[in-house]
Amino acid sequence: MEFFQVVAKRYSHKTAFDSEKKVAEEDLIKIVEAGMAAPSAGNSQSPEFIIINDESVIEELRKISDNVPLNTAPAFIAVLTRPRAREVLDIATECLIADLSASTVQMLLAATALGYCCGWVDGPFVPGDAQAKICEILSVPSDRMVLLVIPVGYPAEAGPRREKKPFEQRASWNQYEVEREAQE
């Protein structure tokens, strides 16, 4: 499927899955590797993943909620972060960040599919004076802020690719067994 068809076709499935049709392990790995390849603030690569395809684990998960997708999906991918995210964010703020992140990643992928180089730049807009300046330049109303900018264009020179942690340091199967680095 062509990239922009994928973007247009993707949606959040909220009804039953065909639990008899299993998801191939190779496909689950590809899906998680796509998540692992995502941009990461300071290259921290903080999200970790648990791929869940063991029927006994899935049955235990199904006892948590009467949510139809949770009760019918043949596989899951749990996305983990540090508890600090919930300690400092209310659910509304968490949703704003999730929405912003998802839309940004889709735009990064779209630009790349069109042959452009792009990036995720947020650091320069953290200080209050820089935020005020960009908001003034862009006529941003006071009830909004610029959280990031995506520079898009053709490269003048080849850019370096940051090294990504190996699969085992970010993902595991059916329970948490991520190989942690010593300094964590």
pLDDT digits (tens, 9 = 90+) for 52-98: 999 999 999 989 988 898 899 999 999 888 777 778 888 888 888 88
CA-to-CA distance for 35 and 170, rounded, in angstroms? Answer: 10
Say if residue 1 is in the same domain as residue 59: yes
Q: Is the pLDDT of residue 142 over 80?
A: yes
Q: What is the pLDDT of residue 124?
A: 79
155: nearest Cα among 116, 109, 123: 116
- The 3-state DSSP class for residue 39 equals coil
Residue 98 lies in a domain: no
What does the pLDDT average to over 6-31? 89
Say if residue 71 is in the same domain as residue 119: no
Residue 173 lies in a domain: no
Q: What is the pLDDT of residue 183?
A: 59
CA distances for 69 relative to 9, 18, 55, 130, 148, angstroms: 18, 10, 15, 43, 33
Helix, strand, coil percent values for the chain (each to nearest 5): 45, 10, 45
Residue 130 lies in a domain: yes
Say if residue 61 is in the same domain as residue 2: yes
Say if residue 35 is in the same domain as residue 109: no
What does the pLDDT average to over 162-182? 90
Q: Is the pLDDT of residue 182 over 80?
A: no
Q: Nearest 5°: phi and psi at 109?
A: -65, -40
- Of all residues in the chain, the percent with pLDDT exceeding 90 is 27
- The overall average pLDDT reported for the chain is 87
Least confident window among 8-22, 49-63, 115-129: 115-129
Say if residue 112 is in the same domain as residue 69: no
Count of structural domains within the chain: 2
What does the pLDDT average to over 48-52? 93
Segment 99-114, tens digit of pLDDT: 889 888 988 998 888 8
Which has more confidence, 183 or 148? 148
Say if residue 51 is in the same domain as residue 111: no
CA distances for 107 relative to 23, 47, 62, 84, angstroms: 27, 20, 34, 27
Tell me the residue range of the domain where 134 lies: 103-154
CA-to-CA distance for 104 and 112, rounded, in angstroms? Answer: 12
